[in-house]
Every structure is written in C-alpha cells, then in structure tokens.
Structure 1
C-alpha cells in the first residue's frame, strides 16, 4: 500500500531527490524511467556527435570525404568510451533493480475486509485475517500494527498523526508468521492497549486508522 500523505513546506525538495539520483530513478514510474533511459543515450550520442562534427568541420574533414589520402581526426575517443561505459552501467543497474522489485507481490497478500472485536480465550481481542495466495511463501514474515489518530497533550499541543504501537504478539513471537494458510492476527485489549478505556459507542464514532505492516522476503527473488 501507499500512505496518502503529501509533504509540503520543504525547502530544496528537488535538490534532495537529485542528490540520491539512483533511488529517484528506481522509484519513477515505468513510462518516466523508459523516457530517462532513452534520453540518457540520445543526449550523450548527440553531444559527442556534435563535438565530432564541429572538430571535423573546423579541420576541414568534411571537404575531403572522398579523398582517401586525407587523414581525418579520429583521435580522442577515450572520453566518449568512458562516459558511455558509465551510462551503460548506471542505466542497466537502474533497469535491473526496477525489474527485480516485487511491487505486485502484495496483490496476492489478502487481508480481511473487516476487523472484529471479540472474546478469545476469555480475553477481549481485536482480530483480522491475512493470507497468501501464492505457492511461493514469504520468508521471515513478520507483522506490526500501528494506531494513528489525533492527540492533544496535557500541555495543549495538538498532534494530528500520533502513532501508537498495537501489540500483535511481539513478546510471545506470534508476530512471526508462517503464511502457509490464512492466519488470524490478534491484538489483546488489556491495560496496555490504547483501546482499554474506549467504549463500544466511542469506538464507532472515533476517528482513527490502524495501519498493518507485513514485512518479509520473497522466496523466489529474495
């Protein structure tokens, strides 16, 4: 998923992105990546082509195209060869990293449409399900959950996006998942839970969001 957050009031944002050019190119959409790929080669070829044409024009090589006794200026090609190798390494590296990214792997990770609050082993729990549709499993899968809501401190400071961790089994190791079949993720509502003092009526009207983060390595690509 993607976080629906737009950054603003940041000075020099463009220069910050350009300072990490490799990651910026990898994160671009495919149409822009292909455009940069084509332009990188076209611009370098055009740049050195104009330089060679200018040298040949000033030296008079263009007036002796049919003169086999004339020696044209064909030296000083080292700079183009070095720059061409750098462009090849950079652009091929970007394309390889971009192709190997499993961006669509999350499409086969399915979460339940609704989360429920119910009793489990005589304990009130917030529960939801997660499952993996593929035969190749997620290796070293772990899950976290965060409660995001606005908060006002005792000093009167307003925090629009306060983040609170929801325990989903970190102490017991239940946050380490083996997704061979759909699993029920449970958050126990106890004294440490942010939902401990929240009534059912308040829970229905309260404005908050629970963000679930599932991490792991793709078995096929690592």
Structure 2
C-alpha cells in the first residue's frame, strides 16, 4: 500500500474515532441550565473522550504520541540531533554551557572525579620530584641529605602531601624545604591550577542553582486549550498562573503553530512555523500576572488556525502543534525567564470553556482555587464556523475592535 493510501486510511479512521468521541462527550456532559454554574469535568474524564485511538492502542500509541511532539508539555525539546560531525569538539569549546546543561548526577560525579584526579596527578609529580632528587632512599638520622619535601618517601606520602597542599590543611609533618627550588615552582603551579578549577566548578554550581529555569517551573499552564465563542467570534484560550508571591514583570505570551508537511517522496518532513498572537482582555502588552489569567487568540481571517477551525467539530485531527511561550523578568533577580508548553490537536477542546477559579473568602481576601485550574466545562454556545463568522466592526478611531473576556 502506497503512502497516499495509508494516509487516506488514517484520516478515515481518525474521523470515525472523533465522531465516536463526540457522541460519548455529548452523553457524558450534562447541559447547562440558564443561571446555573457550568459543570466541572476533570482531566481524568476528558482524556478517554479526546483520545479514543490512544486508549484503544495502548501504551505504544501513547508513547508514539509523546515522541511526535516538538516540545514536551513541560517545555523541553524533543528534537534529536543526529549525524552532527564534531559535536564533542563543539561542546568542549563551550565548556560553560556544557557544564550548565549537565545533569546534577553527572555534575557531582565530575566534581568528585576532578578533585580526586588532581590530587593524584600532582601526587605523582611530587613523587617523581622526590625520586629525581634522591629523597626515596633510606636515609639515616646522621645523613646530611636534605629532601625537597620531608616525610615524602612513598607514593602514598606524595598523594597525602598533594591533598594537604591543595586543601590548605597542612598537618605539619610534610614540609617543603629550601633545598629544592623545583618544589617551590611545582607548589605554585598546583595552587594556581586548582584555584582556577575551583572557581570554574563553583561558578557552574551557583549558576545552575540560580537559573531562571527553576523560577519558570512555578508558572503553570492549563493542561488543555479550549475554543469557545466570545463576542460572536471563536477564540482559542489558554489559562496561565503564577504560583509564587513574587511577580513576573513584562509578561509576553506568544504562540507558534508548527505544521509538518511531507515531501513528494514521503520520506522527509518540512516544518512550517506561523505566529499566533495572544492577548488578555483588551490589552496585548505586559499583562499583570498576579492572578490566573486566560490568554486568548481570536480565530479570524488572519489566524493560522482559521482553516482548522472552519471545519468545526467535523474536522479531522490535523498534524500540527501549538507552542505557547511566556517570557517575563523575574522580580527578585531581574533575570529573563521563559516558560513553554505545547498543545496537540486532541488537546484543544472544541466547544469548552474554563470555569472560574477566583472567589472571595469570608475575610474578604481573593482566593485562587487551583482545584479547578485544569478543569473545563461545556460551553453554553458552540463556536461558530470561522468562515461564517461576521467580521468585527472597526472602531471609528481606526483601532482594533474591542473584545473583553473573563480572566478568571
């Protein structure tokens, strides 16, 4: 069977699975009465409805689905670099970044191995110096021979002297004498080399601990994106929350739509990137992320999602991935922080909306209930097809049309 026939079979099976999932979703979700709060649907309830193919295929299909992401849900790259000539040499030229990207277990191993290796290496040099100077011979108390380093007659003694010198312990039994200028030069060389090494390794440890990547882990994206109607237009919405008391300054949320296209031969893939703009309420510049906010993208004529949304619930599972990127400045350290996540087509829920998470306590304080953060509810009104959606009227001042949605 050629690649075209396989693709047609896959699309036909995907449409059937999607229709079955929609019927199951319609039965599982109760209708919303006017004036009542929308029903909550937990993530455990939505997964079987949105991924029937994965549920039928078992763990193998789920693993394949995870691997075909360009970006994982926690923002890590899934792209594998193959057949890169001279990769090790390139990494060695940029030791600082290589050490920062290294995993902690490898960093601790390299830390211990580096210090133990330098102790042993300079111990060998001290042992060779003692052997050259004739300090290893059994000397009587009446001998007039003055060694380079006292009490260094074995390799073990040389190793201990190297360790004591490098760590500035200095127990007192092993001492450099004025008889051997080469020993003084070797001691200076050892201290300079090990000092530079300690500064480099300590710096990488501190830089890795202070990386804004850890601050980004306290920024939470909703597990699903939703599409619902706002002011008569379909909007794709993503919920974002800052889990810390310290603020993120100058927040910017952008999106990238990645879509793969097979080549004519069917072997290679071309990855196209298109910009997806996000805003919150009527502002698109630096939202104040002190409470969980809902960022939305209007699916209009200029949206890269227009062709996908025009088919509505009858659309086939397109092969694309939506990347959502939040860039901000960490308030305590002024470091730039970037948080990323991605959404596959079956993680974008058509006709759902986010329930409110903000409320007032009895004492009058604002409370963000994260028990509802990842939950969704069936929208009261299904999104209209993008092709049938009327174009928004322009304001008289020539600006963009005003659109306001709830942030919480």
TM-score, shorter chain, exceeding 0.5 = yes
**Deviation string for 1:70-112 (max 9, x for gaps)?**
2423321221122112111111111110111243333322222
Give 3-state SS (helix, strand or coil) of 1:47's partner.
Answer: helix
**Deviation string for 1:51-88 (max 9, x for gaps)?**
11111012112334966862423321221122112111
Query: How far did 1:25 drift?
Result: 0.7
Establish whether residue 101 from structure 1 lines up as the match of residue 211 from structure 2: yes
Quote the residue 1:112 is aligned against. 222
Q: Distance in 1 between matches of 2:330 and 2:140?
A: 59
Quote the residue 2:238 is aligned against. 128
Establish whether residue 191 from structure 1 lines up as the match of residue 267 from structure 2: no
Q: Distance in 1 between matches of 2:275 and 2:253?
A: 12
**Deviation string for 1:145-189 (max 9, x for gaps)?**
1111113699x996432211101149x851523210111111111
1:1-222 equivalences in 2 (<5 Å): 1-63=75-137, 64=139, 70-72=146-148, 73=180, 74-76=183-185, 77-151=187-261, 159-169=269-279, 174-198=284-308, 199-201=311-313, 203-222=315-334
Give 3-state SS (helix, strand or coil) of 2:236's partner.
Answer: strand
Query: How far did 1:122 drift?
Result: 2.5
Q: Distance in 1 between matches of 2:78 and 2:213?
A: 18
Retained in 2: the 8 A contact 1:132–1:180? yes
Give 3-state SS (helix, strand or coil) of 1:58's partner.
Answer: helix
Q: Distance in 1 between matches of 2:236 and 2:83?
A: 38
Aligned pair in 2 of structure 1 residues 167, 9: CA closer, same or farther (>3 Å)? Answer: same
Give 3-state SS (helix, strand or coil) of 2:136's partner.
Answer: helix
Compare 8-17 and 96-105 and name the one that shifted more: 96-105
In the alignment, structure 2 segments of 5+ residues that lack a partner are 1-74, 149-179, 335-408
Retained in 2: the 8 A contact 1:100–1:221? no
Compare 41-50 and 28-37 and name the one that shifted more: 41-50
CA RMSD of aligned residues (A): 2.6
Query: How far did 1:29 drift?
Result: 0.5
Q: Distance in 1 between matches of 2:226 and 2:197?
A: 53
Compare 175-184 and 28-37 and name the one that shifted more: 175-184
Give 3-state SS (helix, strand or coil) of 2:306's partner.
Answer: coil
In the alignment, structure 1 segments of 5+ residues that lack a partner are none
Aligned pair in 2 of structure 1 residues 28, 48: CA closer, same or farther (>3 Å)? Answer: same
Normalized per residue, which structure has more strand? 1
**Which structure has the bigger radius of gyration?**
2
